[in-house]
Amino acid sequence: MSDIGIKQLAKNLGISTASVSRALSNPDRVSTAMRKRVQTAAKLAGYRPNKMGASLRTSKTRNIIVIIPDISDTFNSGVIRSLERTAANRGYSVLFGDTQGIRELEITYGDMVQTRQADGIICFSHRLPFTDEDMASDSFKMPPLVNSCEYIDAAQAGGHIVPLVTIDNVKASRELTQHLIDLGHIDIAVITGDISSPSTTQRLQGYQQAMLSSGLPVQQQLIYEGTYTLEAGSTITKEILLAKKRPTAIFCMCDETALGCLYALKEHNFSIPNDISVVGFDDIKFAQYFSPALTTIAQPVAEIGQQCVEVLIDIIDGKEIKKPMVVLPHRLVIRDSTGPRPDR
Amino acid sequence: MSDIGIKQLAKNLGISTASVSRALSNPDRVSTAMRKRVQTAAKLAGYRPNKMGASLRTSKTRNIIVIIPDISDTFNSGVIRSLERTAANRGYSVLFGDTQGIRELEITYGDMVQTRQADGIICFSHRLPFTDEDMASDSFKMPPLVNSCEYIDAAQAGGHIVPLVTIDNVKASRELTQHLIDLGHIDIAVITGDISSPSTTQRLQGYQQAMLSSGLPVQQQLIYEGTYTLEAGSTITKEILLAKKRPTAIFCMCDETALGCLYALKEHNFSIPNDISVVGFDDIKFAQYFSPALTTIAQPVAEIGQQCVEVLIDIIDGKEIKKPMVVLPHRLVIRDSTGPRPDR
DNA sequence: TATACATTGGAATACGTTTACAGTGTTCTC
DNA sequence: GAGAACACTGTAAACGTATTCCAATGTATA
């Protein structure tokens, strides 16, 4: 803990700094005697190599910057935890940038690779964290970057391929909708996420596909634009209840929204699933404790986080990536918030 | 974005690196003409200063490491978000270390200040992230560190005073218990958090104080040792229901536990608050959407995060800190999960 | 025995920045 | 108009490490 540097340590031992460095970070390039001597001396003196110095020399920071619109979102939290864990195992630290969806902040955090504060980026947004200006420049070089859960349009990315770790949103959404259709539901309302995000679009697609392939009409007035929040679920559900012809099922595009939805329904004395069925998406840890327990799509949170980091590190290490897209399996979890369509 | 350094930029402009550095980071120490010239050239060339180099020189990283047992805990998430935001405003980045309560990981992350990867630490644990061995060493110097919500025993800290940002857990717990007592409850069960954490002990104290000052007995068999999790709430509640003499109220030491508790009660067809009252602690964003909406103690999440960062940066900047402990106001939020003691 | 070869340690350098110090020219003061 | 004060810029030395050369030593080969 004493503020000792490699030079001082070398001097104490009467050897060169090179030997110290080797003994500590490349132990096999040095004799056993030397290795032991240096290592014990280092421990004794409480020597801690200054990572700044090392980083400057090697131009590797062993940091990963995670750019995320809302770090306190429950689904994200799960992924984050896994990210951090995997990164730590691989010898990387994780920095977080919570952007609140603000473009300017995205750019700021995106810049951290350029300024050598991080070796790569994991992004939870559908936009790249670089200015159009930067990306248009012909000297632009895409830094190591992996996207989590949100597809980035190749056009927006200026032709760059952005690796992606995700589930198949279309398919998951189709299955979830099909589950409702199988229960006899015909009028199925949807509360979407932010309409600008591809995950929302994809889930909407899945919904439409399921409806059409069962010969059911897609009713535009049943599609409500929301956000991935509790509040949206609550307020929009009230709106839905005011409709002349009420749906018998509500598809919420995330679990938080579904909780808001359940809340509003119960507030108005609807019985779930007897009067109205509700489904969510994500399977956050609370979902099974909701009342009623929520039918939803479970995303493999831990695997998503892990894969993001693995792929990113591969890119950082300059390895060839076979597939730019990792699609992980989801799971339809049927609980108590869905039931047969009520007779009218 | 082109990989250009300060030297090259200086050479291009036919000036010294000193002038470039000054023009960019100390603009007032340079003539207007020079400033403009350098700034436009820098922008044009896409020059991004290498922070590693700067850090090495200044021995400031502008990083803060946050050591936290569970990053995905809903209460923590809120604080984290605020932390990150405040830090960013003050020009600091935040690194996260999720320790899962594992001692070894705490140490690893605690070491990041010694290895110059961060300037200070914000800690969410009741233990310091240093080995006893290190702390015993007389060359040990406490790095800038602030504790969030958890008191650290001075003895454990080897006599060091550890700044703390928290609410008054004893008082909050007392008020919460008093609320139940005011409703006529006498047999009030408690589901604690991890018994090793001071916040739990303090909340327990508050409970006992309230009981005693109302002349009610503290019944040891009503105090159940749990953890700050959903699962604990659910399983322990079932245990409580099996007791010969059932309590009429349950005090859960965090909202997640309370949700688990509500779940178990409903599963066994208890009506809340008619049969049993339930209170939580924290007021996580879900609390008001629970059914019934949860009576709880609201912690000022945003302020906690902000204060932690402010105090830490003051310490880093070597400022004298007036008070080593910042106690923020909490708020008793009465919702629908509590009601009068039922007649038996 | 002489030569090639493997192993090991040391000296020096580079990474990219900031900053103390020195130097130059300009303006101000009396 | 001389000297001081000032504003600005350049020179060069760090910061702490990893690594590339080289030299030296010991070891196996011809």
Q: Given this model, what pLDDT does residue A158 score? A: 79
Q: What are phi and psi of A127, to 5 degrees?
A: -115, 145
Q: How far apart are CA B184 and CA A80, in angstroms?
A: 44
Q: Beta-carbon neighbour count of residue B339 at 10 Å?
A: 20
Chain B residues in contact with A140 (beta carbon < 8 A) = 1
User: Is any atom of strand C within 7 angstroms of residue B31's beta carbon?
Assistant: no
CATH class entry, domain B59-167+302-327:
alpha beta
Q: Which of A123-137, A237-251, A325-339 has the lowest mean pLDDT?
A: A123-137
Contact assignment for A50 to B115 by CB distance below 8 Å? yes
Question: Please, which positions of strand C sit below 7 A from a protein CB?
Answer: 7-20
The mean pLDDT value for B20-47 works out to 93
pLDDT over 70 at A2, yes or no: no
Chain B residues in contact with A53 (beta carbon < 8 A) = 56
C1' of D15 to CA of B32 (Å): 30
Q: What is the pTM for the complete model shown? A: 0.93
pLDDT over 90 at B320, yes or no: no
Q: Given this model, what pLDDT does residue B324 score? A: 87
Q: Which of A80, A98, A139 is facing B1, going by the closest CB pair?
A: A139
Give the neighbor-by-neighbor strand order of the sheet with A277-279. Answer: A223-224, A188-191, A249-252, A277-279
Sequence ranges of the domains in chain B: 6-49, 59-167+302-327, 169-299
Chain A residues in contact with B87 (beta carbon < 8 A) = none
Measured CA to C1', what is the nucleotide nearest B6? C16
Percent of chain B with pLDDT over 90: 88
Name residue, tokens 């730019």.
A324
Q: Given this model, what pLDDT does residue A317 score? A: 92
Q: Is it true that domain A59-167+302-328 has CATH number 3.40.50.2300?
A: yes
User: Is any atom of strand C within 7 angstroms of residue B18's beta carbon?
Assistant: yes
Chain A residues in contact with B259 (beta carbon < 8 A) = 286, 289
Q: How far apart are CA A198 and CA A202, in angstroms?
A: 6
Contact assignment for B97 to A85 by CB distance below 8 Å? no
pLDDT over 90 at A64, yes or no: yes
Q: Given this model, what pLDDT does residue B344 score? A: 65
The mean pLDDT value for B220-231 works out to 97
Contact assignment for B72 to A74 by CB distance below 8 Å? yes
- By CB atoms closer than 10 A (0-12, 13-18, 19+), residue B7 is exposed
State chain B's mean pLDDT as an integer: 94
CATH class entry, domain B6-49:
mainly alpha
For residue A47, give how far its alpha carbon lies from the nearest alpha carbon of chain B (Å). 9
Q: Which of A91-105, B1-15, B46-60 has the lowest mean pLDDT?
A: B1-15
Contact assignment for A71 to B81 by CB distance below 8 Å? yes
DSSP B208-248: HHHHHHTT----GGGEE---SSHHHHHHHHHHHHHSSS--S
The first and second tokens of residue B326, run together, are 């910042």
Chain A residue with the nearest C-alpha to that of B50? A115
The first and second tokens of residue B215, run together, are 């002349």
For residue B324, give how far its alpha carbon lies from the nearest alpha carbon of chain A (Å). 24
Chain B residue with the nearest C-alpha to that of A108? B88
Q: Which of A94, A98, A262 is facing B81, going by the closest CB pair?
A: A98
pLDDT over 60 at B2, yes or no: no
Say if CB B115 and CB A50 are below 8 A apart. Answer: yes
Name residue, tokens 């591809």.
A198
Q: Which residue is nearest to nucleotide C20 (CA to C1')?
A: B18
Chain B residues in contact with A262 (beta carbon < 8 A) = 289, 291
Say if CB B38 and CB B16 are below 8 A apart. Answer: no
Tell me the three state secondary structure of residue B64: strand
Q: Given this model, what pLDDT does residue B3 score? A: 76
User: Is any atom of strand C within 7 angstroms of residue B57's beta carbon?
Assistant: yes
Q: Given this model, what pLDDT does residue A344 score? A: 65
Strands A93-98 and A249-252: unpaired
pLDDT over 90 at A154, yes or no: no
Contact assignment for B140 to A114 by CB distance below 8 Å? no
DSSP B271-313: -TTTT-EEE-SB--TTGGGSSSPPBEEEP-HHHHHHHHHHHHH
Give B173-218 pLDDT, tens digit per residue: 999 999 999 999 999 999 999 999 999 999 999 999 999 999 999 9
Give B97-120 pLDDT, tens digit per residue: 999 999 999 999 999 999 999 999
Q: Given this model, what pLDDT does residue B1 score? A: 46
Q: Given this model, what pLDDT does residue A1 score? A: 45
Q: Given this model, what pLDDT does residue A4 score? A: 87
pLDDT over 80 at B154, yes or no: no
Q: Which of A117, A141, A259 is facing B51, going by the closest CB pair?
A: A117
User: Is any atom of strand C within 7 angstroms of residue B288's beta carbon?
Assistant: no
Q: Given this model, what pLDDT does residue B21 score? A: 96
The mean pLDDT value for A93-121 works out to 93
Same-fold call for B59-167+302-327 versus B169-299? yes
pLDDT over 60 at B55, yes or no: yes
Give the neighbor-by-neighbor strand order of the sheet with B223-224. Answer: B223-224, B188-191, B249-252, B277-279
Q: Which of B50, B262, B266 is facing A115, going by the closest CB pair?
A: B50
Angle at B325 between CA B323 and CA B329, to 5 degrees: 115
Q: Which of A77, A137, A234 is facing B46, going by the closest CB pair?
A: A137
| CATH fold of B169-299 | Rossmann fold (3.40.50)
C1' of D22 to CA of A28 (Å): 21
Tell me the three state secondary structure of residue B344: coil
